Structure 1
Amino acid sequence: MSFAHLGLSAALVRIASDHGFESPTPVQEAAIPAILEGHDVLGLAQTGSGKTAAFALPILHHLLHERRGGSRHVRVLVLVPTRELAMQVGEVMRELSHELPGPIKVVTAFGGVSINPQMMSLRGGADIVVATPGRLLDLVDHNALRLSDVGALVLDEADRLLDMGFAEELADILEMLPAQRQSLFFSATFPDDVQELANALLKEPVFIEIPDEPEHAPDITQRSIKVDAAKRAQLLRHLIKQEGWSRALVFAATKYGTELVAHKLHRAGIKAAAFHGDLSQGARREVLEAFKAGELQVVVATDVAARGIHIADLPVVVNFDLPRSSADYVHRIGRTGRAGASGLAVSFVTPDMENHFRLIEKRQGQRVARELIEGFEPGDQPAGADGTVPDDDGEAQAPKGLDPNGGIKGRRKSKKDKLREAAAKAGTP
């Protein structure tokens, strides 16, 4: 089975191929035709099974053939539980839509950061909004968007949405959506509360269940180094120079991250380039050819863009940002140690990602001993007067203490709180 046989447009089949999607995964093979036919879908699949592309590709296909709504209207709404997942799903949507005929506007919205840039990006509406529930309701309260024209709703990692206490927010959002819409529901588990939500949300859905298969780590040397987030770029430069890496493929979470890391390496005299979906196909080809020829020492890539990277005798892979899942971890580090060659995979583990990396270790059935490198040991980074934490180059990072999960229940003021504040301002008892 190939993507060409699933009913996708020729442009999307080509883009899927350009991004290294050689053949559909089981969840993609089952979900894409059902979504294209307009059915609601209930998908039970683990993270890393390819479900983001399973709904992203057919959604983009529909958008190419639909007329856009007016100002402040949203055509597709994707709800996710965390800021990290919102960023990654938004990244996939942007990379897959980048070369489509006609612009597709994707806006990502989550809590823990200023709402103003997100409101600005929603001016004129959006084709796709990927959001955490709390921040989405904040944007609705600010009249930054309308949900009355949403044609497709996606709930990604629905079990985590409920586990994190978003049930009330989801109920408020569902009331704002039109009754006539396509609903896509993806979850790794199916407890009673998830089943109740699915029953209320979906109409005669196509049920898809992908068995969870054990994963095996590749036969390569794995290292994990404990380091503060602000020291990672400096540590990367240190390792490249001190250990004499001839070539390294570095994974970052976002397009912005790839550009920033590549810029810092280049400034330190290391020949590096970013590799992400916003680059044209010609630019991506030039980067790969330069990397294969040894003209570049480091390529910094996102997961989606890097699916098309196949480098013979690649000695080192670095997880600058940890992947979302053990499946992505195995996929990343499997780029080295091929065809009988030895390989090295290095992961930077920041204090706030320690538990996440332990889950990756548990999933792959292998413990990776933590290393401490002198001069790069984790420690509290003092925040400046503006609340930002400088990185190793003195550049401002995200304010210290920001919520890593995007919107969290309880952060958004309730209606009663707002009424009390209004009454207090008016001087009423």
Structure 2
Amino acid sequence: MSFGTLGLSPALQRAVSDMGLYAPTPIQAEAIPAALKLTDVWATAPTGSGKTLAFALPLLQHLLAAPRQTNFRRPVRTLVLVPTRELAVQVGDVLANLAYKLPQSLKVNTVFGGVSVNPQMMALRGGADIVVATPGRLLDLIDQNAVRLADVQHLVLDEADRLLDLGFADELQRVLALLPAQRQTLLFSATFAPEVEALATKLLRDPVRITVEAFEGHKPDITQRAIAVDEKSRTALLRHLITENGWKQVLVFVATRYACEHVANKLYKAGMFATPFHGEMSQGARQEVLSEFKAGRWDVVVTTDLASRGIDIAMLPVVVNYDLPRSATDYTHRIGRTGRAGAHGDAVSFVTAAALAHWQLIQKRESLELPLEQVPGFEQTETPPPPSPGNGGIKGSRPSKKDKLRAAALGNPLN
């Protein structure tokens, strides 16, 4: 199958060919024809499967087919919402690079928080055909009359499960209230938790549901390992593994901003080129870390779940879960940073005695059966704590306060 069989215009086919792409991925082969028909689309596909092009190409074709009615101001006809600044930049770059190759002038603007709002307001003078935005900054710009959403014809929620989650619910509700009722809505993500699916159902109208599983021959080539280790020995074990295996690009996930700084500082003092990456850093600092990491100038980046979605680092060889993720869904997104585009990757999880029950739950939900390894010199000596009443703090065993709030939100449809 080629891109030419999907109904794309010759100009878009040439643009894709210029990117060195000749055959669509499974998600692109299914989602592009559906999106071209102007139906709502609900798409689930593994990380690294090409979801961005799956919605970018039909969006651009719709804009080419319906030129704007005025030459003086460009109404925002397409809105792409994403949960993080890094993903906004990545998606915006893909759309802008494709639009640059097209015969009709299309303006793409990317807006996100963490930087001054003034340059973004200036860039929006005269409007834009496509706006890629994080919800909070978009609302800031709306409040300052820098952007209007009354003409939006196409809405995309990328990493939709995060945007539909409780953390974005209020902001997303405000944005949706400003959009025309008649529009096309596209949801794309690698995972959808059951409670998020209920919210998505209320948002879409007769959607085409697309689920692309990672099948043999297209599954990410990721070797997963679990190592039993005492909590106090994790940093020393991490140094040992990096040195012993000669790892040169390692993405290390921890639970908190403090742990980012603490672990990165310890590694740096031990002679390793390590740096933190978290949400309290300025946008400029975060972009610099990512650029230098991709260029190989940092050996280790220690991060929170900020980096678990939407960040594409070509040929990233190793991901380490220094702290286990809160949920099986987060585990999927974390290890999905490696093993991309056919490359091999390694994903290593440290399992302390206190986290053993949580690790067993993640394994159950991910259908994993990984033996707990012991590394010589770092054998686990701690024992699991006695079971506590209730769910023992394990996410998913019974409704948490957040789950209850999310359930209550089902009575307030997102429309």
TM-score by length of 2: 0.58
Do the aligned partners of residues 18 and 257 (structure 1) sit closer, same or farther apart at CA in structure 2, a change above 3 Å counting?
farther
Amino acid at match of 1:130: V
Letter aligned with residue 37 of structure 1: K
Q: Any residues of structure 2 matched to 1:99-114 within 5 Å, and which? A: 99-114=101-116
Among 292, 298, 315, the alignment partner of 1:332 is 315
Secondary structure of the 2:182 match is: coil
Deviation at 1:120, TM superposition (A): 0.7
1:223 alignment partner in structure 2 = 248
1:161 aligns with 2:144: no
The aligned residue for residue 385 of structure 1 is none
Q: CA deviation at 1:188?
A: 2.3
Describe the superposition over 1:142-174 as per-residue Cα deviations: whole angstroms up to 9, x where unpaired.
001110000100011111123361111111111
SS of the equivalent of 2:221 reads coil
Unaligned runs of at least 5 residues, structure 2: 224-244, 253-259, 262-267, 273-283, 320-329, 340-344, 351-415
Change (3 A) 1:177 1:11: same
Are 2:131 and 1:129 equivalent residues in the alignment? Answer: yes
RMSD: 4.3
Q: Distance in 2 between matches of 1:212 and 1:4?
A: 24
Determine the C-alpha separation between the residues in 1 that align with 2:162 and 2:111: 18
Instruction: Say whether residues 1:120 and 2:122 are aligned partners.
Output: yes
Q: Deviations over 1:205-244 (max 9, x none)?
A: 11100113542259x9742379999xxxxx9xxx9xxxxx
Superposition deviation, residue 200 in structure 1: 2.0
The equivalent residue for 2:61 is 61
Q: Do the aligned residues in 1 keep the contact of 2:86 with 2:310 (CA within 8 Å)?
A: no
In structure 2, C-alpha distance between the alignment counterparts of 1:85 and 1:318, rounded to whole Å? 21
Q: Which residue of the partner structure matches residue 24 of structure 2?
A: 24
Give the Å deviation of 1:325. 6.4
Structure with bigger RCO (C-alpha 8 Å, 6+ apart): 1
User: What residue is the counterpart of 1:337 in the other structure?
Assistant: none
Partner residue of 1:44?
Answer: 44
Partner of 1:82: 84
1:317–1:332 Cα change, 3 Å: farther
Give the CA deviation at 1:21.
1.6
Q: Residue 186 of structure 1 is aligned with which of 167, 185, 188?
A: 188
Partner of 2:178: 176
Q: 1:114 to 1:206 in 2, by over 3 A?
A: same
> Is the alpha carbon distance of 1:170 and 1:226 closer, same or farther for their aligned partners in structure 2, counting shifts above 3 Å?
closer
Distance 1:319 1:99, change over 3 A: farther
Name the CA distance, whole Å, in 2 between partners of 1:184 and 1:80.
12
Instruction: State the distance in 2 between where 1:203 and 1:320 align.
Output: 44
The 1:358/1:101 distance shift into structure 2, 3 A limit, reads: closer
Change (3 A) 1:68 1:204: same
Conserved? CA contact 2:6–2:32, under 8 Å: yes
CA deviations over 1:232-278 (Å, ceiling 9, x no partner): xxx9xxx9xxxxxxxxxxxxx9xx979x97xxxxxxxxxxxxxxxxx
**TM-score normalised by the chain length of structure 1:** 0.56
SS of the aligned residue for 1:38 comes to: coil
Counterpart of 2:249, as a letter, is: S
Give the whole-Å Cα distance in 1 for the aligned partners of 2:24 and 2:151.
Answer: 31
Deviation at 1:368, TM superposition (A): 11
SS class of match (1:207) = strand
Deviations 1:384-417 (A, max 9, x none): xxxxxxxxxxxxxxxxxxxxxxxxxxxxxxxxxx
Q: CA deviation at 1:14?
A: 1.0
Aligned to 2:3: 3
Task: Please tell me whether the aligned partners of residues 46 and 188 of structure 1 are also in contact (alpha carbons under 8 angstroms).
Answer: yes
User: Compared with structure 1, are the counterparts of its residues 31 and 362 closer, same or farther at alpha carbon in structure 2 (3 Å cutoff)?
Assistant: closer
Cα distance in 1, alignment partners of residues 102 and 210 from structure 2: 28
Counterpart residue identity of residue 144, structure 1:
A
Query: Shift of residue 114 of structure 1?
Result: 1.0
Partners in 1 of 2:334 and 2:186 — Cα distance? 30
Per the TM alignment, residue 36 of structure 1 is displaced from its structure 2 partner at its CA by 0.8
Aligned to 2:394: none
Shift of 1:139: 0.7
- Mapped contact 1:72–1:122 kept (Cα < 8 A): no
- How far apart, CA to CA, are the structure 1 residues paired with 2:21 and 2:298? 22
User: CA separation in 2, counterparts of 1:199 and 1:358?
Assistant: 26
Pairing of 1:194-205 with structure 2 (within 5 A): 194-205=196-207
The equivalent residue for 1:149 is 151
Amino acid at match of 1:177: L
* 8 Å CA contact 2:86, 2:311 repeated in 1: no
Does the Cα contact within 8 Å between 2:15 and 2:98 map onto a contact in 1? yes
Q: Tell me how far 1:359 sits from its aligned partner.
A: 3.8
Distance of aligned partners of 1:367 and 1:206 in 2 relative to their CA distance in 1, 3 Å threshold: same
Shift of 1:358: 6.9
Contact 1:77 1:150 in 2 (8 A): yes
How much has 1:194 moved relative to structure 2?
2.0
Closer, same or farther: CA 55–225 of 1 in aligned 2, 3 Å: closer
Do the aligned partners of residues 346 and 195 (structure 1) sit closer, same or farther apart at CA in structure 2, a change above 3 Å counting?
closer
